[in-house]
Copies of this chain bind each other. A is one copy, B any other.
């Protein structure tokens, strides 16, 4: 078993991981930048090591200082959390070479699923539907035009190594292709040091639905149902829910089975997610996230499984120990992300409490939100019988939530939750702009 874990992250996810460590009797070691001396994860962990100045590149991305801190503080394992080094194959490799356990899939898996072209190849072999597109890298604007005319406009061109909307271009007509291809290759090269480009048919306003998986690398794979993450602002998820209102039982089953089949083929070890686009009742593979995700509590709520605990157990070499049939996925879960719009000192923080509500946050009265990092301030998760009551309970929770000292997107979340379109359950990824009439 693992006795001591270094958490190579900050904010709410570091706090979240420390809690599961406590629950398992595992010692937790936090790392922090000079800007995070008073951060909650530093206060809560059993030990904490300063690893650099405020800039992430010099601290939370400083793999050498992080690994040295883990070795020097007697840890057996490193949990990378989300973001930062969580999908960095080189880091996973370095951690392993330092004689530590990397809590996540192995470097080869991270590398494979991180390469969009490679991932598509594996997905195709597993017989999983994906949007029509280029079979591999596209070399020239000419080739791009030829493939686009085969699959039909609009198309989207993407960086093979990309993510987060960078190096992505929607092309509506043939005459736009040359310029779009040139810009996208350039962006891909400058952001990801890899100019490789591929193309897919562009689905207008699909739903973004993903399947949460646990896989022990020894053949046992289960899913914890799906999460619908269609409510996004500039490709940033705002609200996540499970089950998705876009799927019926048969569609859900097909999608989850496809995801499980892919993870079996990958010999995946750990927690991971398969993201799909859902369009007119059909699902199309988008990508694999080889890590735990921000919205994982939604799946924890409906399944009763602690995903962080499972990550740790699997990394320690344990068998999953249960089958899909033994899982009891029930009710409806909804998560709202509360993002800070300004950094600042928190003069008062009152979280919502009571039945059916969970709060994951690094905020506390007298704490602060740093200008250096991600604006995610708190996640509010509710678990109820059905979608209608879940939305009511989330409204109750958000009304109880009070954060003084910074401004947040709480009012925006209330607007979405009370909107007719969100309550209808019928919308696409354009829901945010439809509500706010951009």
Contacts and interface: CB of A to CB of B under 8 A. Distances in A.
Given A23-B393, A350-B364, A396-B23, A330 B355 contact: no
Given A355-B16, A355-B19, A356-B306, A350 B330 contact: no
B22 A392 contact: yes
A272 interface: no
Contact of A360 (B20, B354, B399): B354
A353 interface: yes
Interface in A239-289: none
Contacts of A384: 23
B350 A331 contact: no
B396 A19 contact: yes
Contacts of A351: 351, 353
A236 interface: no
A3 to B, nearest CB: 15
Contacts of A348: 365
Contacts of A297: 355
| 9 closest A-B pairs by CB | A22-B396, A19-B354, A353-B359, A23-B393, A23-B392, A328-B328, A354-B360, A306-B355, A23-B396
Interface of A: 15-16, 19-20, 22-25, 44, 297, 300, 304, 306, 308, 328, 330-331, 348, 350-351, 353-361, 364-365, 384, 389, 392-393, 395-396, 399-400
Given A306-B356, A353-B360, 4 more contacts: A20-B355, A23-B396, A300-B355, A354-B359
